[in-house]
Amino acid sequence: MGAKKMDREAAERFVAAWRASWCKVDIDAVVAHFADDAQMRSPLALTLTGSPVVAGAENIRAYWQKAYGHIKSADLKILSWGWDGTIARLTVWWQLGETRASEFMDFDGAGRVVRSEAFYGR
């Protein structure tokens, strides 16, 4: 995303790039969209780390490497997504196998994710 402010068109490009990166399980490419001091919250993080919050891009990278690094590719399907420009929030509804989730991501003025949270269901 570079230094470009997020808008609906940038959010649409982000969703496509985010999906492509996850399908290749290119964790470095996913983390490249995060600010250095980003925070991510997930029930899976609680299971794997003992805390639902992972803080800092490098810790997020290590967490995702632990959680998904053993997978070579993934058929991540985007079910829907929405952009709220007022609060710079992207919400993505996705499915991977039997797992369905909604995930929101808040962006800073430079178009980098500063906070994300995933909610899982079936």
pLDDT, tens digit (0-9, with 9 covering 90-100), for 88-117: 999 999 999 898 999 999 999 999 999 999
Q: Which two tokens stand for residue 100?
A: 């369905």
Note the pLDDT of residue 73: 86
Predicted pLDDT at 94: 96
| CATH code, domain with 17 | 3.10.450.50
**Spatial distance between the Cα atoms of 90 and 11, rounded to a whole number of angstroms:** 7
> Cα dihedral sign for 7, 9, 14, 15?
positive
Number of Cβ atoms within 10 Å of the Cβ of 94: 20
pLDDT of residue 4: 63
Q: Tell me if 3 is assigned to some domain.
A: no
- Residue partners of 70: CB distance under 8 A and separation at least 6: none
Q: Is residue 2 part of a domain?
A: no
Instruction: Report the predicted TM-score, pTM, of the whole model to 2 decimal places.
Output: 0.89
Residue written as tokens 């929405």?
82
| Residue 85 CA to its chain's centroid (Å) | 18
1-38 pLDDT per residue, tens? 444 678 999 999 999 999 999 999 999 999 999 999 99
